Structure 1
Amino acid sequence: MADEKLAKLREATAGLTQISENEKSGFLSLVGRYLSGDEEHIEWAKIHTPTDEVVVPYDTLESPPEGTEATKKLLDKLAVLKLNGGLGTTMGCTGPKSVIEVRNGFTFLDLIVIQIESLNKKYGSNVPLLLMNSFNTHDDTLKIVEKYTNSSIEIHTFNQSQYPRVVADEFLPWPSKGKTDKDGWYPPGHGDIFPSLMNSGKLDLLLSQGKEYVFIANSDNLGAIVDMKILNHLIHKQNEYCMEVTPKTLADVKGGTLISYEGRVQLLEIAQVPDAHVNEFKSIEKFKIFNTNNLWVNLKAIKRLVEADALKMEIIPNPKEVDGVKVLQLETAAGAAIRFFDHAIGINVPRSRFLPVKATSDLQLVQSDLYTLVDGFVTRNSARTNPSNPSIELGPEFKKVGSFLGRFKSIPSIVELDSLKVSGDVWFGSGIVLKGKVTITAKPGVKLEIPDGAVIGNKDISGPEDL
C-alpha cells in the first residue's frame, strides 16, 4: 500500500515544474521514509543524562589566545548563518520577521549586520553573513538587504527547499491538483539547511574561502552572537557539531533536550516522548537543559554527510487545514542532526545567549530599561539582581506590534519587576515604573489609562481608584 502511494506521488511530483530536481528528490525521500514507518522509537530505559564531557559547562571553556592577530585567525574560519524563513504574521506584521524594529529604530537584521561589522572592523577579519530564506521571505529580503550594499560585510542569501503540501485523503501533491499559488507549498523546517546550503552552492563557496565552521541561529534570537570561546573550543577539540543548551525554566518545558543514547548524543523532542513519560520530560529535575537552536557545525562534515545522504533526521508530521483542505507537511529540525556528526557536543551556555522575540511580551522586555544596546549587542542591565527575566503576559489587545506600540507612550521601567499580567483595554502613559508582581485588568467596556510617572509595586489594579 505504501509503495503504491509513493509511486503515485512520484508520478505526480515529476510533473511539477516550479521546483528543482534536487527539491523533488528531497521531498520524495522524506515522504518515502515517512510511509515506510522506519522511524526509530526511543526506548525510555536507554536514556541517560549526558556527562560534562558531552554537555560541556560554558565556564570550563578556555579563553582563546589573546591578541588581534590570534582572534582574526579564528574568525577567518567562521561564517554566520541566520534562519530567515519566518514571517512576522503572529505579531501582525507582513514580510520577514527579521525586519521588525527591536530597539532604537533598529530591526533584527540591522543588529545582526552591525554586530558582524564591528567584529570584522575590530579584528580585520572577514566573517560573512548568510541568510537562509524561504520562498515566503525571499523577495522581500532581497529588497531589504539592498540597504546594506555599502556595508563592509559579505551578505549571501539563498533559499531553503520548497516542497508541495500533500492532500491528506488522496496523498497527492496539492499543486498537481491545481493549487499552484503559495498555499500549495511549504518550507520543510530548518533541518533542510544542510542540503540547501549544498544545493545553493554556498557550502562550496565557503569552503573555497577557507571557512571551517558555520554558526547557525534563529534571526529573532538577540542573544545568539559570535562567541570566541565556543569557536576556539570547537577548532581545538575538532568537534563537528555543537548545540548550545541552557538551563530549563518552567517556561521552557516543551523545548527539546540533549540525552546520551546508545553511546551517542541525541536530541529528544517532546513529540518523541511516550505519553506515559511526558510529565517526566517536562520536569526540570531529570531534564535540566533545553536546545536554544544556536548551532555550530563543521562545513566539511556537512558536505560529507549530505553527499552520503546520511542525515536522516526524525520526521515531524505537521497536519494543517488550508482553505478547508486537510494537508500534510513533513518537516525536520536542524538540532536533530546532532547524532550523525562525529565528536558532537552540547555546551551549557548562560541564559543571556537565548533571548528570542516570539511575541510582543518579549519585545517589551528588550525595549525596556532591562537592556541596553551597544554596537548592535543587546546587553542586560547589571542593576537587575534577579538572574531570570520578569514574566510578562499581555492580553490579545497587545498581540500585534502596531497595537502594542500604540498602547505605550513609553516602555515602563521593569528592572525590579517580577511579573506583569495585563488584560483588557489598558493604555500606558510615559515614565511608568513597575515593581514586584503587578496585575492590571480593565473591566469589560472600560478604557483604563495608567497615568504618566505612575510607580506601581506589588498591586492588582482594576480601575483608576486602585492607582
Structure 2
Amino acid sequence: MAATTEKLSALKPAVAALDQISESEKNGFINLVSRYLSGEAEHVEWSKIQTPTDEIVVPYDTLTPLSDDPAETKSLLDKLVVLKLNGGLGTTMGCTGPKSVIEVRNGLTFLDLIVMQIENLNNKYGCKVPLLLMNSFNTHDDTLKIVEKYTNSNIEIHTFNQSQYPRLVVEDYLPLPSKGHAGKDGWYPPGHGDVFPSLKNSGKLDALLSQGKEYVFVANSDNLGAVVDLSILEILSHLIRNKNEYCMEVTPKTLADVKGGTLISYEGKVQLLEIAQVPDEHVGEFKSIEKFKIFNTNNLWVNLNAIKRLVEADALKMEIIPNPKEVDGIKVLQLETAAGAAIKFFDKAIGINVPRSRFLPVKATSDLLLVQSDLYTVVDGYVIRNEARKNPQNPSIELGPEFKKVGDFLSRFKSIPSIIDLDSLKVAGNVWFGVGIKLKGKVTITAGEKLEIPDGSVIENKDIKGPADL
C-alpha cells in the first residue's frame, strides 16, 4: 500500500504539469491508475457463474413486432442517437487515417454506408436521427475534413474526442510525455469504455438530452452488420417498454469467435466475462461453444439519462485492461476499459441474442474479401447477404502476409472471385488472381515462385502448389 501511495504522489504532480490535456482527462487518468495500482482486479469465482435465462438474454425472435404505423416508427426514431466508435486507424491494413474511410465496395467507405443508412430513415420518416462519431486524437483532424462531404446530407453529424491519456513508464509509473516524449507516441486513447465519460465531458450528452433523445446505439464503425434499419427498432421499443437501461447485442458463437466475451449471470447480475478474467484451468471450457454459446458483438444500446447519472456518480468502474507496449525501447503501459464491461452498473441490463447478420466486422483484408465478393450486395447503404448462399456461415478465409495491406490485396486481385460455394480458402505466397475466377469447397493455394491464377478458372476442393495443379 505504501508503494502505491508513493507512486501516486510522484505521478500526480507530473500529470498536473501536462498542458496538452484537460482537467477532466487528468482526473480520469489518475483515477484509473490509482484503481490499477490498488490491485482491485475482480476475480471471477468460476463456481458462481450461471448461464443467463431468456429473461436476461432475450431471443431476438421473441421481440414484439412493430406496428405498421409510420407515426409510431417516427416517435421511436426521434428518441434514437447513433454513435460509431471511430478512434481506430487502418494501420493493421496498411492504411493511414481513420479506418472508417477504407473503401468497402463500389467506391463506398464504412462512413458513406453509415450516413446513407441513417439518411434513408430520416428522409422516409421525417425524423432527425443524428450520427455521433467518437474520434481519438489520432483520427480527429482527418475525420473533420472527411465529414465535410456530407454537409448537404439530411443528417446531423457530431464529432467528439475520447480522452487522451499519457502512456505510463513501467519502471517508475511516471507519464512518458513528462520524459521528453511529447509527440503522439507518448499518448494513447484508453479504449471504448471511455465513451461514457467522454460523451458527458464533451457536452454532447446534455445537448442530446435537451433534444428529447433517450437511447444511444453504440457500435464499431467497422462492423458492417451494425446497421440502422427498421428491424432494430424492435429492440429499441423493447428497451423503452421494459425500462432496460443497457442492452448488449450478442450472437451465437462459432469456432471463429471463441475468444470473444460472453454474458453470464453472476451473483444475481448480468455481467460480461472476458477471456482475460478466466482462470487458466477454465480457458478451454470458456472457449467451448457448448457451455458459452453467445458472444458480445459490441453493438450496445444505452439509456442517456442513465449514462449521465452513473458518470456523475463516478460509478462506472469497468475492469481495467493493461496493454503493455514499447516506445523507443522504453517499456510502457496503457490502461484501457471496454464499454461492454459497463453492463453490470446499469439497471435492468439485458442482452438480446440477435441474428449473426448483425455482426460483420472488417478487421483484416480477409474480411474485405468476403464483403467485396458476390456473397454481399449493397442496397441504399445496407450490406445484404446473397440468398444464393445456402450455408448460414461465411467461408473461412486466411490470406498470407502478401495480402495484409489493402493496396497489396487490391493489386493481387484483378477482380474478387466468386465464393458463393466456398467453404474455406487458404492462400500463402506470391499468388495473383485473374478475372472471373470461381472458388468452391475447400481451396488451398501455396506458391513458392510467382503463381498466376488464370482468368475464368474454376477451382473446387483443390490443394494447389504450382501451375501444374491448375
Q: Which residue of 2 aligns with 1:448?
A: 451
Give the 3-state SS of the residue equivalent to 1:425 in structure 2: strand
Q: Deviations over 1:359-409 (max 9, x none)?
A: 000000000000011010000000000000000000110000000000011
Q: Deviations over 1:109-153 (max 9, x none)?
A: 000000000111111111000000000000000000011111110
Match of 2:122 among 104, 120, 123: 120
Q: Which residue of 2 aligns with 1:30?
A: 32
Deviation of 1:465 after TM superposition, in Å, equals: 1.5
Q: Which moved more, 1:415-424 or 1:65-74?
A: 65-74
Give the 3-state SS of the residue equivalent to 2:460 in structure 1: strand
1:66 aligns with 2:71: no
Pairwise CA RMSD of aligned residues?
Answer: 0.6
Give the 3-state SS of the residue equivalent to 1:66 in structure 2: coil
Q: Which residue of 1 aligns with 2:280?
A: 275
1:432 aligns with 2:461: no
1:384 aligns with 2:389: yes
Alignment map for 1:9-88 (pairs within 5 Å):
9-88=11-90
Deviation of 1:231 after TM superposition, in Å, equals: 1.0
CA distance in 1, matches of 2:66, 2:201: 34
1:466 aligns with 2:469: yes
1:175 corresponds to which letter in structure 2? P
CA distance in 2, matches of 1:324, 1:177: 13
Give the 3-state SS of the residue equivalent to 2:198 in structure 1: helix
Match of 1:264 among 269, 276, 280: 269
Q: Which runs of 5+ in 2 are unaligned?
A: none
1:67 corresponds to which letter in structure 2? D
Alignment map for 1:23-422 (pairs within 5 Å):
23-226=25-228, 227-422=232-427
CA distance in 2, matches of 1:205, 1:450: 56
CA distance in 2, matches of 1:6, 1:167: 13
2:461 corresponds to which letter in structure 1? N
1:457 aligns with 2:460: yes
How many residue pairs are counted as aligned between the two chains?
Answer: 465
1:241 corresponds to which letter in structure 2? Y
CA distance in 1, matches of 2:114, 2:135: 15
Deviation of 1:40 after TM superposition, in Å, equals: 2.0
Q: Deviations over 1:158-189 (max 9, x none)?
A: 00000000111011011111111000000000
Q: Deviations over 1:310-339 (max 9, x none)?
A: 000000011111111100110000000000
CA distance in 2, matches of 1:196, 1:47: 32
Deviation of 1:39 after TM superposition, in Å, equals: 2.3
Give the 3-state SS of the residue equivalent to 1:447 in structure 2: strand
1:63 corresponds to which letter in structure 2? P
Runs of 4 or more above 6 Å deviation: none
CA distance in 1, matches of 2:315, 2:307: 10
CA distance in 2, matches of 1:287, 1:355: 20
Q: Deviations over 1:398-453 (max 9, x none)?
A: 0000000000110000000000010111000001011000111112xx11111111
2:307 corresponds to which letter in structure 1? I
Q: Which runs of 5+ in 1 are unaligned?
A: none
Matched-pair identity in %: 81
Deviation of 1:260 after TM superposition, in Å, equals: 0.2
Deviation of 1:65 after TM superposition, in Å, equals: 2.3
TM-score normalised by structure 1 residue count:
0.99
Q: Which residue of 2 aligns with 1:8?
A: 10
TM-score normalised by structure 2 residue count:
0.98
Give the 3-state SS of the residue equivalent to 2:6 in structure 1: helix
